[in-house]
Amino acid sequence: MQQFLDEISGSVPALRRYARALTRNADRADDLVQDCLERAIRKRRLWAPTGPLQGWLFKILLNLHRNDARHQRRRGDHVPLDTLSVEPAIPAPQPGRIALGEMSRAIDALPADQREALLLVVVEGASYEEAAGILGIPAGTLMSRLSRARAALRTMTGVSEEPRLRSVK
């Protein structure tokens, strides 16, 4: 039991990164990770130690996020009154920050299946096989989703050309 808890605690930073990337809200991400850890500990008998524990935790987190997203769609948008401002927002003057915000909005605009695949592979560094296992899809489907996500990001951010490779003699 102690080894199981130690492995879980070692996975918390990666779970928090992925949850924050999925939710774009630190408080919701922390709640999501807490729910994930609670469910993993409560259902530890269901984990088969044939694969990595972190992959199982990612799958639990992703399922919880999807369930929460379904509930959010049914409830509709909730905007707290204290977040509304009367004054217009001033855009950040730094070009890098603007580009980062543009990329963040473009990632948020991707369909959920493409966004989940992209975040697992690009942000978390999961291999194609690991990401496909976490998402419960074949590796070919994962590669297709990644390709479509990257193409959509290039279109949304105005970078339509793919990098050109040149041969070195």
Q: What does the pLDDT read at residue 35?
A: 94
Among 1-5, 21-25, 117-121, which stretch is predicted with the lowest mean pLDDT? 1-5
Q: What does the pLDDT read at residue 50?
A: 75
Residue 81, number of CB atoms within 10 A of its CB: 5
Q: What does the pLDDT read at residue 88?
A: 46
The residue type at 54: Q
DSSP state, residue 25 = -
Tokens at 36, concatenated: 């994930």
Q: What is the mean pLDDT of the chain?
A: 84
Query: Between these two residues, 159 and 103, which has the higher pLDDT value?
Result: 103
Q: DSSP secondary structure string, 74-115?
A: HH-----GGG--SSPPPPPS-HHHHHHHHHHHHHHHS-HHHH
Find the angle CA(143)-CA(70)-CA(67) to the nearest 5 degrees: 75
pLDDT tens figures, 17-40: 999 999 989 999 999 999 999 999
Q: What does the pLDDT read at residue 4?
A: 80
Residue 138, CB half-sphere, CA atoms under 13 Å: how many? 3
